[in-house]
Structure 1
Amino acid sequence: MFFRKMFLSPSHVPLEVKTKCYNSDLNEVYLEVQIKNISSSTIFIQKVSLELSEMYTGAELNIVSQAGEDECTFGTRMFLQSMEGRQYLYNLQLKQEFSEKVGTISRQTELGKLIILWKRNLGEMAVLQTIQLERESLDYGNLRLSLEEIPETVILEKPFNVTCKITNCSDRKMKLVLRMNDTDSVRWCGTSERYLGKLSPNSSLCFSLTLLSLKMGLQSISGICITDKVLRKSHVCDNIAKVFVVSSILKMKS
């Protein structure tokens, strides 16, 4: 993962802007912005804002609550000395109406534009707007498995439930069968094979699993196998989540 340098305009612009995206999920991304004063004089940063594309909502993560009031993590000091830099962080969420359009979203990478309002030490005002910021294109293949619900803590050798969601990222209908392979630490409770049904392109379905753990500590849920009967192709999903397993005594004390 590398920072992408944004060339804002003419060479006399005293600010260098670099961006970096962290894809938490298909529907969520963290955007880090680095702003650096590359001039020989002090610059006053009046405002930094993110103008999002129509597909995203966002939250600025540079605000903390102090004595019931929101304050910037940089405090009241808004000056950047020569060669001094600052980092801004944003959490972006894909809007609900776009979240199920996986085939389209995986190719749409535009996040928005960064707008910086600044002054030189003599008071002259300037506004900079970056080119369109982009995230890396995500490719989940033809089928995507995500976790919807899981308990934080489970009891050793006692069944617990998790809920998963399958999304058809292809442009054709699937006919899905679920099978789970037992691991050393986690076993599946139920029949050896389950028919999930037909799944249209760019649509999703949810299913539940009943599991039990044979070992204590942090255990990984793996071994889920989903087969498309149309193409006779299997998708094995490992390490989709972790669950903390405790003894019944510890659970009762908590």
Structure 2
Amino acid sequence: MGLSGLLVLPQAFGAIYLGETFCSYISINNSSNFEVRDVVIKAEIQTERQRILLLDTSKSPVESIRAGGRYDFIVEHDVKELGAHTLVCTALYNDGDGERKYLPQFFKFMVANPLSVRTKVRVVKESTFLEACIENHTKTSLYMDQVEFEPAQHWSATILKADDHPSESNALTREIFKPPILIRSGGGIHNYLYQLRLSSHGSAQMKVEGSNVLGKLQITWRTNLGEPGRLQTQQILGSPITRKEIELQVVDVPSVTVLERPFLIHLNLTNQTDRKMGPFKVSLSQSDTQEEKVVMVDGLQTLALQQVEAFSSTNFHLDLIATKVGVQKITGITVFDTGEEKTYDPLPDLEIFVDSD
């Protein structure tokens, strides 16, 4: 045949990894003693899911390749799928007798995962913390250009570092001349920590209610020879966000109170919905146990509050009195919505110190 498969790729291409660019130099050799003409060349990558065309000269065939000559080309492909791949190269040409001939060649290779990313999500008060551990599975060290967390809508993210309080000039210098983070071959790891916050409250919190999508990581790196790689994780999930309709918070509690003398605690009631709520009744509910209450309401047992507008709040105070000295607990402060006839979870217990004088 006019074109032969003398140039055969090795059985193993070497390490080919997801997120990198597969690049192959291909040479079509005319090993005959006659010229071949009108050569149509195709090269494509085949995977279990798809076929990607890399080169097709159908519309402008190579006019001729002389006897002993060759035609060279380079194909590139951004590897985005794990598993078995096949590089298919074909040539359609006229031989010395003008007969149309067809030559296919197949080169198989496997694509492996260069990195593993393990994440943990922790919630502390109003903040969500994301830990990401990146492990290098390749046989070469990787220089991480960027490990950036792209938060989902209504979230913001800040990367936390050990030296998070540098001087302004040093911080600017480090931002411009960032030393690369090296993750060594064969199981080297590096950890990243991000602090996530809801970018705004109120309506934004309503829109993400019930959703547990936090965002995804964009990872870029370079090998020892400077070859780039890029991966994007799937969406990282946290705990589903539940929105409280009503939030009751403590504004101020006296540090010391006097036995059997009235004192005030200041509270704030926030409506976190997009509709008007209330009126409300605030009271100290009875405990499930038979223990006598040490701190009680001084005066009317129920405090009435007016309606609260959407995404608004109101401040109020409760008159209380303590009947026993020492460290005591204020328990069971409860809000009841008279409009919807709904009782909300009580305020967490508060501790006060009661003096005898």
TM-score (norm 2): 0.52
Question: 5+ unaligned residues in a row in structure 2: which ranges?
Answer: 1-17, 20-79, 83-111, 288-292
The one-letter amino acid paired with 1:18 is: R
Tell whether 2:146 aligns with 1:47. Answer: yes
Within 2, Cα distance between the matches of 1:86 and 1:185? 53
Matches within 5 A, 1:49-68: 49-65=148-164, 68=167
The 1:54–1:209 alpha-carbon spacing in structure 2 relative to 1, beyond 3 Å, is: same
* CA deviation string 1:161-205 (max 9, x = no partner): 3433333559785432111248856555563211222346x6342
Pairing of 1:4-43 with structure 2 (within 5 A): 10-11=81-82, 12-25=112-125, 28-43=127-142
**Contact 1:220-1:239 within 8 A present in 2 as well:** no
Provide the residue aligned with 2:255 in structure 1: 154
Shift in alpha-carbon separation, 1:149–1:30, aligned structure 2, 3 A: farther
CA distance in 2, matches of 1:165, 1:24: 22
Could you tell me which amino acid in structure 2 is paired with residue 17 of structure 1?
V
Conservation of the 8 A alpha-carbon contact between 1:154 and 1:243: no
Cross-structure match for 1:145 = 247
Residues 30, 244 of structure 1: alpha-carbon distance in 2 compared, 3 angstrom cutoff: farther
Equivalent in the alignment of 2:40: none
Find 2:279's aligned residue among 175, 181, 184. 175
Equivalent residue for 1:225?
334
Alignment RMSD (CA, Å): 4.0
Unaligned runs of 5+ in 1: 1-6, 249-254
Deviation at 1:65, TM superposition (A): 4.5
SS in 1 for 2:207: helix
Using a 3 Å threshold, how does the CA distance of structure 1 residues 30 and 147 change in structure 2: closer, same or farther? farther
- Contact 1:156 1:216 (8 Å CA) reproduced: no
With over 3 angstroms needed to count, the CA separation of the structure-2 counterparts of 1:13 and 1:176, relative to structure 1, is same
Q: CA deviation at 1:45?
A: 1.4
In 2, Cα distance between equivalents of 1:163 and 1:230: 21
Answer yes or no: is the 8 Å Cα contact 2:202–2:273 preserved in 1: no
Amino acid at match of 1:57: S
1:192 partnered with 2:335: no
CA contact under 8 A between 1:36 and 1:83: conserved in structure 2?
Answer: yes
Where relative contact order (Cα < 8 A, 6+ residues apart) is larger, the structure is 1
8 Å Cα contact 1:145-1:237 kept in structure 2: no
Cα distance between partner residues in 2 of 1:236 and 1:154: 25
Q: Which of the numbers 119, 126, 134 marks the counterpart of 2:229? A: 126
Q: What residue is the counterpart of 2:209 in the other structure?
A: 106
AA aligned to 1:116 is: I
Contact 2:160 2:193 in 1 (8 A): yes
Rounded Cα–Cα distance in structure 2 between residues aligned with 1:99 and 1:21? 23
Q: 2-side partners of 1:91 and 1:215: how far apart?
A: 43
Q: How does the TM-score come out when normalised to structure 1?
A: 0.70
CA distance in 2, matches of 1:66, 1:139: 34
> What is the identity, as a one-letter code, of the residue corresponding to 2:332?
G
CA distance, structure 1, for counterparts of residue 161 and residue 123 of structure 2: 19
Match for 1:145: what amino acid? E
**Per-residue deviation at 1:35?**
1.7
Q: Say which one has the larger Rg.
A: 2
Q: Determine if contact 2:154/2:208 at 8 Å carries over to the other structure.
A: no
CA contact (8 A) 1:221 1:238 kept: no
* Distance in 2, Cα, partners of 1:93 & 1:35: 23
SS in structure 2 at match of 1:118: strand
Greater mean alpha carbon deviation, residues 163-172 or residues 12-21: 163-172
Q: 1:178/1:62 Cα in 2 relative to 1: closer, same or farther (>3 Å)? A: same
2:215 and 2:282 map into 1 onto residues whose CA distance is 39
State the distance in 2 between where 1:215 and 1:37 align: 61
1:223 Cα deviation (Å)? 0.9
